[in-house]
Structure 1
């Protein structure tokens, strides 16, 4: 199978009750429900699930300022949220918004012969957008699951999804993703 799901930044620093840089509270549970269902479904049919998380170094002053030190490497905020279903240990840290900034992720996807990337997670206007756009640049077919991404507001999420759609990213509902990709 040439598909992989990238689960981006579902970390305590963004979705826990005491998150330093939280997404919109009302988006968290519905997003987690969709992401966890997709992870279980992907795992059951042999689609690799890849977890990616922000881990900013203390010396990354600007990144830490912009993210309110929400995902400082080694901090609780950088940990994946305990409500996220984990089916493996395929985890890649990043210290930039684009998941492909980690060359080990790129090598992993090449080794698996992945051609189709499905993106879920946080933040629609940040890491999701950066990773999706770089996926296209790298010649992947990319799908962002609109009801399985979150943002600081509904309007930012919708604006980001609309923008990505104009750039060649397929925007799908979680109930459609596997049907569209596998058929």
Structure 2
């Protein structure tokens, strides 16, 4: 059984939120790749159809078309340092907070015989937390990264970690994961 690293939405639009977490995300990717363990990346975006009225996507209705990420836009692109490390790894396109909904993520994890999922990226209290909870609900042991996730502000980041840690899984640091995943 394998442990997979799930790198959530490390995209240009979230660059400011990733600053403190980015070095640890890159360390985790390097660690998992060195151990030949699966790294799976997600990329959030919306099609032209989703960004055109009537808005069928809930997130587009919530944030509006100007507050949503258009597929192919600069905001949609991966942060260059992360994009380089993503080469050769599965990339899951998603259009909602939960990376399991309307995607092949569950199938990818099953094919790789994954039993444990380590979640890092952005936003701690939206896509990371929602995806981590969904992994837990699907039977995966799930860890959420304390120092390799970012959010709009410290309060939201900590709220996401607290909620997840209370009922779903461990909240760990990069060094803790690197010592546990060998």
Q: Same fold judged by TM-score > 0.5?
A: yes
Runs of at least 5 residues in structure 1 that lack an aligned partner in the other structure: 16-21
Secondary structure at the aligned position of 1:88 is classed as: coil
Q: Distance in 2 between matches of 1:121 and 1:39?
A: 11
TM-score, normalised to structure 1, is 0.87
The gaps in structure 2 that reach 5 residues or longer are: none
Per-residue Cα deviation, 1:117-152 (whole angstroms, up to 9, x for no partner): 000000011001110111111000000111000000
TM norm structure 2: 0.87
Partner of 2:113: 113
How far did residue 33 of structure 1 move?
A: 0.3
TM alignment of 1:152-167, pairs within 5 A:
152-167=152-167
2:29 to 25, 39, 42: 39
The equivalent residue for 1:95 is 95
Give the C-alpha shift of residue 32 in structure 1: 0.7
Partner Cα separation in structure 1 for residue 160 and residue 40 of structure 2: 22
**Contact 2:4–2:114 at 8 Å: present in 1 too?**
yes
Q: Any residues of structure 2 matched to 1:54-93 within 5 Å, and which? A: 54-58=44-48, 59-60=50-51, 61=55, 62-64=58-60, 66=63, 68-84=66-82, 85-93=85-93
**1:88: how far off?**
2.2
* 1:181 positional shift: 4.0
Residues 92, 102 of structure 1: 8 Å contact kept = no
What is the root-mean-square deviation in Å for CA atoms of aligned residues?
1.8
Q: Distance in 2 between matches of 1:103 and 1:126?
A: 17
Question: For residues 124-135 of structure 1, what are the structure 2 equivalents within 5 Å?
Answer: 124-135=124-135
Aligned residue in 1 for 2:14:
14
